[in-house]
Structure 1
């Protein structure tokens, strides 16, 4: 069967996995998850920790966590330069960058998201905001230095790290934490990615607007249809 990616709205980091699937160019389907109300008992059958993204792979296995999903897509897209063979230096460099984005860059925003999503006020909000802003500023400075003068995060070639980056970098619009224009190299990368057709497609998908993809997208499925597909594959494997 064609894989099914569960993506979250609004503005989840699963955005990067949509971009990655578009770059891969192979058949896939999408299942929309409105957060947090979409994290139902049924969805927990796919991802027990109530997060997106999640992926039902072509062989019917449920896979969670962005790094795992992006590495899975990368393994399918080695011929397209999206991923690299395990044991090579390029594989190690990609994993290092994905790990940095997943831990330091992603988590820098966590205090800000917590304050926003939980309605924190007063001294607690001030503390979370100050801590989060410091983290976001530090992470941007670090990533700016890591990028250097290269056109992409791993150098001369676009990789899945760039797809993951653009899904997180847009979070600055929710939080008055950093002005990306103070980091000219990251701003250049962001602007370049925003003109990418796959990124435009992912934006349209989130906004439920008309979306023209690269040909792999086979439409949306409901959560129940996705669970039925997962159950059928489990039954066949039994």
Structure 2
């Protein structure tokens, strides 16, 4: 059984994992999970107990949830491709550092903006929350520009799984229209390079249910019902 990634939309956190799977070249399926209906339902919670995406089902039926864990799993399997690195190496330390920063700082900076959209608030509260979010996003962009230090990629001389995760978050700025990305030359350069990447274009098309051409090992979509059946067989 190939890998299967359960992903949610719109603008989902699963985007980076889809890009990573495309880059890895491994064979995999995708299972689209509607949000918020299906993702919070009883059936899906058999896949992910807290009702979130993404989750990766391995060939033996084991489940790996949370983007950091999924990307870590893929990284360990793609050292020969330069997407991951030998444990304990300087490159691996930098990869983990970058993923941690992206998860705790860059990702988190957008949280107030998403909350302001997704929850009922007074106009005054919404504006205050949005102002707070804008300041956080600007600060996170400035921090990442410093960490890039003029390099083309987040880790080493080529793209790594940190770049895949970065793209899934950085595109949120296009939705919220918070900062002028060109004010951060290294970050903007990275973003523009990734826009042209076939795996990024594929993940974008997948999210929007458009015709998508895989440059990796994508085998097609499967249903949640199919995957629950496989899970029972693997138990």
**TM-score of Structure 1 vs Structure 2, range by shorter chain:** over 0.9
Q: Compute the displacement of 1:101 (Å).
A: 0.4
Q: How do 1:101-180 and structure 2 match up within 5 A?
A: 101-180=102-181
The whole-number CA distance in structure 1 between the counterparts of 2:156 and 2:180 is 24
Q: What per-residue deviation string (whole Å, max 9, x for no partner) do you get for residues 120-141 of structure 1?
A: 2322112211111111000000
Q: Compute the displacement of 1:37 (Å).
A: 1.4
Q: Compute the displacement of 1:173 (Å).
A: 2.0
Q: Compute the displacement of 1:214 (Å).
A: 2.0
Q: What per-residue deviation string (whole Å, max 9, x for no partner) do you get for residues 35-89 of structure 1?
A: 1112111111111112111110122111100000000011111110111122222
Q: How do 1:21-170 and structure 2 match up within 5 A?
A: 21-39=21-39, 40-170=41-171
Q: Compute the displacement of 1:176 (Å).
A: 3.1
Q: Compute the displacement of 1:170 (Å).
A: 0.5
The whole-number CA distance in structure 2 between the counterparts of 1:5 and 1:85 is 24
Q: What per-residue deviation string (whole Å, max 9, x for no partner) do you get for residues 18-47 of structure 1?
A: 000000001100001121112111111111
Q: Compute the displacement of 1:119 (Å).
A: 3.4
2:7 paired residue number: 7
The whole-number CA distance in structure 2 between the counterparts of 1:132 and 1:60 is 39
More moved, 168-177 vs 18-27: 168-177
More moved, 115-124 vs 139-148: 115-124
Q: After TM superposition, which residue ranges in structure 1, 4 or more long, deviate above 2 angstroms? A: none
Q: Compute the displacement of 1:209 (Å).
A: 1.5
Q: What per-residue deviation string (whole Å, max 9, x for no partner) do you get for residues 156-194 of structure 1?
A: 121000000000101012213212122121111101001
CA RMSD of the aligned region, Å?
1.1
Q: How do 1:144-223 and structure 2 match up within 5 A?
A: 144-223=145-224
